[in-house]
Amino acid sequence: MARNKERYRYFDVGLALASWTLTKLEADAELHQMDDMPAKLIALRLTEYYRLMEASPLIPNPSTRGKADAPSTPREEEPPPKAGPHEQDLADECADFWSTL
């Protein structure tokens, strides 16, 4: 698929062949019947990671570490946001990019 550089930012990422990360990614892809679409799974997991970082009171947000206005106590517990059609479209678009590498 052709790259749309006006709409997307592309990254070239490599994982060491004998790495723990690659092993986990391959197992995750196989579990979810996405072993032929690792790029799509990477895009999905990256989206989930940032949503978790934004919503979880237990994991500090790296972008607020060290800032004076960062809360010193955990936030009230909120339900995690639900992924809508926009997030799925974004994951699909990211996967299209990763599958070209």
pLDDT in tens, 32-72: 999 998 888 998 999 998 888 888 766 565 665 555 555 55
- Which residues lie closer than 8 Å to 57 by C-beta, 6 or more apart? 74, 75, 76, 77, 78
pLDDT, the chain, mean: 79
Look at the block and give the residue holding tokens 């550089």.
Answer: 5
Please give the structure tokens belonging to residue 31. 């579990």
As a whole number of angstroms, the distance between CA 7 and CA 37 comes to 22
Tell me the three state secondary structure of residue 78. Answer: coil
Asked if the model's pLDDT at residue 20 lies above 90, the reply is yes
Average pLDDT over residues 11-17: 88
As a whole number of angstroms, the distance between CA 17 and CA 29 comes to 16
Closest CA to 54 of 74, 73, 72, 81: 81
Look at the block and give the residue holding tokens 């799925």.
Answer: 88
Residue 100 Cα to chain centre, angstroms: 18
